[in-house]
Structure 1
Amino acid sequence: MSDNEVDPDELGESVERPMFRLFTEYGDDHIHWFIIGLLTSISARFLALVPPVVLGVALDAVFDDKRPFSLPLLPETWIPPTTIGQFWFSVQIMAIAMVFGAFSNFARSSSLNLFSHRVKHEVRTETYQWMQRLDMEFFDDHKTGELMSILNNDTNRLELFLDNMMGSAIQLVVLVIGIGAILFWRNPQLAVVTLAVIPIAALFTWWFMRRIEAFYADIRSSVGDLNTRLENNLAGVEVIKTAGTEEFEDERVRKASYKYFKRDWKALRMNFIYRPGLQLLTSIAFIATFIAGGLWLLSDRPILWFSGNFTSGDLVIFLLLTQRMVEPLTQMSEVVDRYEDAKASSRRIFGLMSIPPAITSSPDAVELDSVDGRVDYEHVDFAYEDDGERVLHDVTFTADPGETVGLVGPTGAGKSTICKLLPRLYDVTGGEIRVDGTDVRDLTVESLREHIGYVGQDTFLFDGTVEENIRYGAFDAEEAEIIAAAKAAEAHEFVTNLPEGYDTRVGERGVKLSGGQRQRISIARTILADPELLVLDEATSAVDTETEMLIQRSLDKLTEDRTTFIIAHRLSTVKGADTIISVEDGEIVERGTHEELLGNDGLYADLWRVQAGEIDALSTEFVEEASRRASANQINQGSN
């Protein structure tokens, strides 16, 4: 099984300690913000415990006069000797604790938010950088919506945990330890009753985490599926409307959404058990504390195994601190919930980043500095790794510097694949491709692609202005150079007629322009880059005959001094090529000039007759092969 076949979710299952990796690999540079958040979280929770303790001590010392005024860690010399002085001193301590507690909470939120957002930013950008460098076969095998889900939804879930839940988890630990210390300081015997629920809650949480982990992995996967369905439908809304298939697509979205709903509902049902369960445990602790402490006070003597004195101030401290535990302990369910959600997202992210790029520069690769333009294909074979099906076999030809090579043949014959192997969008599985005598695999990928201009049959424009799209890849180009490139591509006239000329925004994927206009902008972009090697993959497929003539006139000038590969179904585009290669079923079946191939009366001649409308003159063999290919394409589309 190839790396490309492996799904990020499957790879994520083998990722060990994903949250630990998240901190060590992305949190190191920002650990100071996390430490500030940690310290201020401890400070905020500690200060929140001060008022209940001071209140209980004041009740015994100031109001009931049962005990001397004493607080842990507070020097006795600071305590006023008079009752009224102790009263106002208590007020001051509680006020100071509340003010500094508010400041600590502000610092905690700010620092942890900054830490979490910086980590999220670095995870998202590094994941995108890694993904962008994966080979084209990876993108052929994976859905765009699924990848968007990893880049967007999963990174956002990491931020939610690091931001809110991490602080809550820290405060919960501090709270339990702090309350436990205070209660044991005040009355160890009753503290055992109050805190007995803590180990039970820990076991309950452990059980919940083991059950919920698998649910969140399924949820993340179904989110990717749903995003893919929505993205496909929004991108294809014109097809949906013209085909009148709104109800069909409604049903497909409903099914994908319901799949997500069912998986999400399973996790929610677990939460419906866990959260009330924790709330019940804390309520039991509160009631048990009230009963035991209340009976102790009412009977004015120890009960059960208790011994010693117990005051109303003690009961106030116990009840207030027990009540303080109720909300954080019930919030622990959300902490665990977010943690498992973030862990599932981390697994998907690290699973994606464990897929190695298949096409990289070898350690001893050399830079391609200058290009004469000779390209040799020598016994080239190619097959996709996922199914091993042969696409090209023993493709051998040479393009001399400045020569134009036309590639023709039926749909699916392998013409585009031949050209995509040159810039190493895919790598050959046999044979080699050489540029000026050097195997392309011995050149750095970046320098190789810098010298190749590629205009694909699926024209893509970025959401931006016309000028930005033409300048793309040649970012330091001057305005005059951009206009010259547009004129060469026969685009200048229609661009100047747009509402804002070259500053007109083209919309997502260039939807505000016609197919022909997008094609000419794409050609202008390639002209501006001025590459030594040029690949035109159906570059005039989306234009009318008149526009094709204008573009062809410009392309003739463009291709004069550079090696050019032209893939075309419209044979008029390659009629003047120095060499025309006919490709069928991944193999070269004939080569020559236009006149030579017509004289051979082979595949090229039949393709020419089809375009000339001479259907009756086609060979029987060509018609039978065309029927076979059409049937095969229908079967493949059905299986997909």
Structure 2
Amino acid sequence: MQPGPGGRGHRGGAMVTDRVGRRVWALFRPYRTGMAAILLAVLVSSGLGIVTPFLTQAAFDKALFPPGRGVDVPLLAWLVAGMIAIPVLSALIGVWQTWQTTLLGNRVMADLRGRLFEHLQRMDLSFFTATRTGAIQSRLANDVGGVQSVLTDTATSILGNVVTVAAALIAMVVLSWQLTIVAVALVPLFVLLQIRVGRVRRRLAGRTQESLSDMTAITEESLSVSGVLLAKVFNRQAAEVARYRAENARQVDLQVRQAMTGQSFFAVVQTFMGVTPALAYLVTGLLIAAGSPVTAGTLVAFTTLQSRLLFPTMNLLRVSLDVQTSLALFTRIFSYLDLRPAIVDAPDARTVDPAAVRGEVSLRGVWFAYPASDDAEPDGTDPDADGSARRWAVRDVSFDVHPGQLAAIVGPSGSGKTTLSYLIPRLYDVDRGQVLLDGIDVRELTQASVAGAVGMVTQDTYLLHATIADNLRYARSDATQAELEAAARAANIHDRIMSFADGYDTVVGERGYRLSGGEKQRLAIARVLLKDPPVLILDEATSALDTAGERLVQQALEQATRQRTTIAIAHRLSTVLGADLILAVENGQVVERGTHAELLAHDGLYARLYTEQFAGGAVQARCADGVVFRDGRTLHEEPAPEKVG
């Protein structure tokens, strides 16, 4: 934050720091009992450390060199026993304290990771389309991992050092207030310098994590299967290496600058700590010369306490810089936790059983625009109430799909077909109008209810790096083996699965790369059949397949669309000629609607797309009622569907 007039930036920065600090402390609230036990251990350990110098003073002044008599051996034995027992007891307490702080800190960090992951799962689709996957991974791994030391031992380190410094300071004043002034004279100056160094470290820490996030994103993009294939086919491996090396060099520079920030300051502090004992001897000599009764035991005890004061002070200064660094990471983590999903359940959202959904889908005057990027130029059409123009992806769309019908949405690329399919399962919320499921606005239903009622098969099928059975059970975790096989048979993929040596236990590889495109699509269809939703959306499910693969997938789709409402986004018109309703979309608007024959007779957009795609070839398709069309004409015979020419 840049400082404003009158130093408001500094106060604002302090307020931000305080707010982040309070949120960090809130992470420990569920573990208050454990923190109290650790606090007690720290107090006991720090208190024991202060006892030893006084035992040393007594050993010198009362046991070894008592005034007017010889060595007091029994007293010396007891004092020596105490000096031995205290470190042993402190060591045992330290082991227990380390175990407790490590356990508690890791639990807090696990809670933080879990909260962040859960929150990201609730974010809407637009967040992920606008954010690099590597940047998200970096928040979960690098940023949360970077604050681990703060959560595991920094808090107790600060507490222990503060208690030690306070106890040592009190004890030193008791021994000699004059020597104490010498020992702490420059400490306030060091604290002020540390604050300035901490600000610099915090800024550098934020930039370092941003660079690390960029490196993670480059790694995720370049070393994924798709990224490697892209680099190889375009011979861009050298360019990818250069891109990574450039960011890597930036990361090294930032890490070095961060590590070296404040090192000169610490060198000065360390020098002062090194010369302070010598100054104590000098001041002691001057005091004795002036007639002040400073005993040898007092001097030895005081110099021992000096180490108990100065080294913890040094540690506090170092730890405070680490805290400043960690606050930068916490700020990045909390910035994600503070994001609010664009799509949330209404307070009175209704829950419906998918089995009770009839499957009637209606759109009423729907308008939708994607969130505008900074460089987007509005088209100036249909301004909002505040006067700002929006780039509408969907404009005033209305249609009805009755239960059990097959509706097809066709149109040129970029016309808004996929956007319409995303609005129905509420992956995006409409800006105006309504999307209705069985007459109920989907915004009045819980997201879980909508997700349970609507299934999707997309062109880009995503499979987990897991077994075929695991990928199928992603739809229904409690599905039996018999149910898996029934769904696979219906999707025309069971025989292919059984041809693998491991059958349903075959690992499909990263994004399913061990399978062909058609096999992945049929597996996706089997997965949605296992879910058995009353509404099915097919987003260009066959556009990337060859003729043989398309035929197999089309047979699976025929099985999938039976007795359920289906909305198909079609690039290949051969897959939807028999649809009950065809919607032709252009520039986000439905410009034509009807059956295949009706739209051909209308000789508009659909007829043009049909002519461009098939260029006079004969295409036939079977309707739901068994009637067969060829180029819009009704045929009496019913040969197997095929594409000619």
TM-score interval for Structure 1 and Structure 2 normalised by the shorter chain: 0.7 to 0.9
- CA offset at residue 123 of structure 1? 1.3
Alignment deviations for residues 371-397 of structure 1 (CA, whole Å, 9 cap, x no partner): 111111122111012243211111111
- For residue 195 of structure 1, the aligned residue among 184, 194, 203 is 184
Cα gap change, 1:613 to 1:62, in 2 (>3 Å): farther
- For residue 372 of structure 2, the aligned residue among 381, 386, 398 is 386
Counterpart Cα distance in 2 of 1:177 and 1:12: 25
Residue aligning to 1:263? 254
8 Å contact kept, 2:165–2:312: no
- CA offset at residue 531 of structure 1? 0.2
Cα gap change, 1:15 to 1:583, in 2 (>3 Å): farther
Match of 1:534, SS? Answer: strand
- CA offset at residue 614 of structure 1? 5.8
RMSD (Å) for aligned C-alpha atoms: 2.4
Residue aligning to 1:291? 282
8 Å contact kept, 1:56–1:314: yes
Alignment deviations for residues 233-268 of structure 1 (CA, whole Å, 9 cap, x no partner): 112112112211111112222232333334333322
Counterpart Cα distance in 1 of 2:608 and 2:505: 46
8 Å contact kept, 1:282–1:329: no
- For residue 279 of structure 1, the aligned residue among 255, 270, 276 is 270
8 Å contact kept, 1:60–1:67: no
Kindly indicate whether structure 1 or structure 2 has the higher relative contact order, using CA contacts under 8 Å at least 6 residues apart: 1
Counterpart Cα distance in 2 of 1:15 and 1:238: 45
- CA offset at residue 66 of structure 1? 4.1
- For residue 360 of structure 1, the aligned residue among 334, 341, 344 is 344
Q: Is 1:238 matched up with 2:229?
A: yes
- For residue 331 of structure 1, the aligned residue among 315, 333, 351 is 315
8 Å contact kept, 2:165–2:308: no
8 Å contact kept, 1:161–1:339: yes
- CA offset at residue 19 of structure 1? 2.1
Tell me the amino acid that sits aligned with residue 244 of structure 2.
V
Residue aligning to 1:74? none
Counterpart Cα distance in 2 of 1:12 and 1:496: 64
Cα gap change, 1:340 to 1:437, in 2 (>3 Å): same
Match of 1:418, SS? Answer: helix
- For residue 216 of structure 1, the aligned residue among 205, 209, 212 is 205
8 Å contact kept, 1:146–1:228: yes
Q: Is 1:341 matched up with 2:332?
A: no
Q: Is 1:316 matched up with 2:300?
A: yes
Tell me the amino acid that sits aligned with residue 114 of structure 1.
L
Tell me the amino acid that sits aligned with residue 317 of structure 1.
A
Matches within 5 A, 1:460-475: 460-475=462-477
Residue aligning to 2:159? 170
Greater CA drift, 361-370 or 392-401: 361-370
Matches within 5 A, 1:614-633: none
8 Å contact kept, 2:583–2:594: yes
- For residue 129 of structure 1, the aligned residue among 95, 112, 118 is 118
Residue aligning to 2:28? 27
Alignment deviations for residues 132-158 of structure 1 (CA, whole Å, 9 cap, x no partner): 111111111222122222222222223
Match of 2:579, SS? Answer: coil
- CA offset at residue 214 of structure 1? 2.3
Residue aligning to 1:6? none
8 Å contact kept, 2:395–2:588: yes
- CA offset at residue 555 of structure 1? 1.6
Alignment deviations for residues 508-556 of structure 1 (CA, whole Å, 9 cap, x no partner): 3333333333222221111100000000112224443222212211221
Alignment deviations for residues 446-482 of structure 1 (CA, whole Å, 9 cap, x no partner): 1111111111222111232211110113111111001
Alignment deviations for residues 156-187 of structure 1 (CA, whole Å, 9 cap, x no partner): 22321121222221121122112112212222
- CA offset at residue 219 of structure 1? 2.3
Q: TM-score, normalised by structure 1?
A: 0.86
Q: Is 1:157 matched up with 2:146?
A: yes
Counterpart Cα distance in 2 of 1:227 and 1:532: 40
Counterpart Cα distance in 2 of 1:514 and 1:56: 83
- CA offset at residue 107 of structure 1? 1.8
Residue aligning to 1:546? 548
Counterpart Cα distance in 2 of 1:210 and 1:274: 14
Tell me the amino acid that sits aligned with residue 33 of structure 1.
G
Residue aligning to 1:57? 58
- For residue 515 of structure 1, the aligned residue among 495, 514, 517 is 517
8 Å contact kept, 1:598–1:605: yes
Residue aligning to 2:384? none
Q: TM-score, normalised by structure 2?
A: 0.86
8 Å contact kept, 2:191–2:317: no
Q: Is 1:100 matched up with 2:86?
A: no
Tell me the amino acid that sits aligned with residue 373 of structure 1.
G
Tell me the amino acid that sits aligned with residue 359 of structure 2.
G
- CA offset at residue 606 of structure 1? 3.1
- CA offset at residue 292 of structure 1? 2.6
Cα gap change, 1:108 to 1:539, in 2 (>3 Å): same
- CA offset at residue 568 of structure 1? 2.0
8 Å contact kept, 2:109–2:151: no
Tell me the amino acid that sits aligned with residue 252 of structure 1.
R
Counterpart Cα distance in 1 of 2:145 and 2:68: 53
Match of 1:125, SS? Answer: helix
Alignment deviations for residues 315-360 of structure 1 (CA, whole Å, 9 cap, x no partner): 2222233234454333334312321122112212222222222111
Tell me the amino acid that sits aligned with residue 275 of structure 1.
F
Cα gap change, 1:15 to 1:368, in 2 (>3 Å): farther
Match of 1:302, SS? Answer: helix
8 Å contact kept, 1:286–1:323: no
Matches within 5 A, 1:427-442: 427-442=429-444
Counterpart Cα distance in 2 of 1:307 and 1:266: 52
Matches within 5 A, 1:534-573: 534-573=536-575
Tell me the amino acid that sits aligned with residue 90 of structure 1.
L
Q: Is 1:399 matched up with 2:401?
A: yes
Cα gap change, 1:547 to 1:32, in 2 (>3 Å): same
Counterpart Cα distance in 2 of 1:208 and 1:12: 15
8 Å contact kept, 1:472–1:525: yes
Q: How many residues align?
A: 585
- CA offset at residue 218 of structure 1? 2.3
User: Which ranges of structure 2 fall in alignment gaps of 5 or more residues?
Assistant: 1-12, 374-389, 618-645
Greater CA drift, 466-475 or 81-90: 81-90
- CA offset at residue 13 of structure 1? 9.9
Counterpart Cα distance in 2 of 1:307 and 1:504: 91
Residue aligning to 1:459? 461
Alignment deviations for residues 178-211 of structure 1 (CA, whole Å, 9 cap, x no partner): 2112212222221221222332322222222233
Counterpart Cα distance in 1 of 2:436 and 2:538: 19
- CA offset at residue 16 of structure 1? 5.3
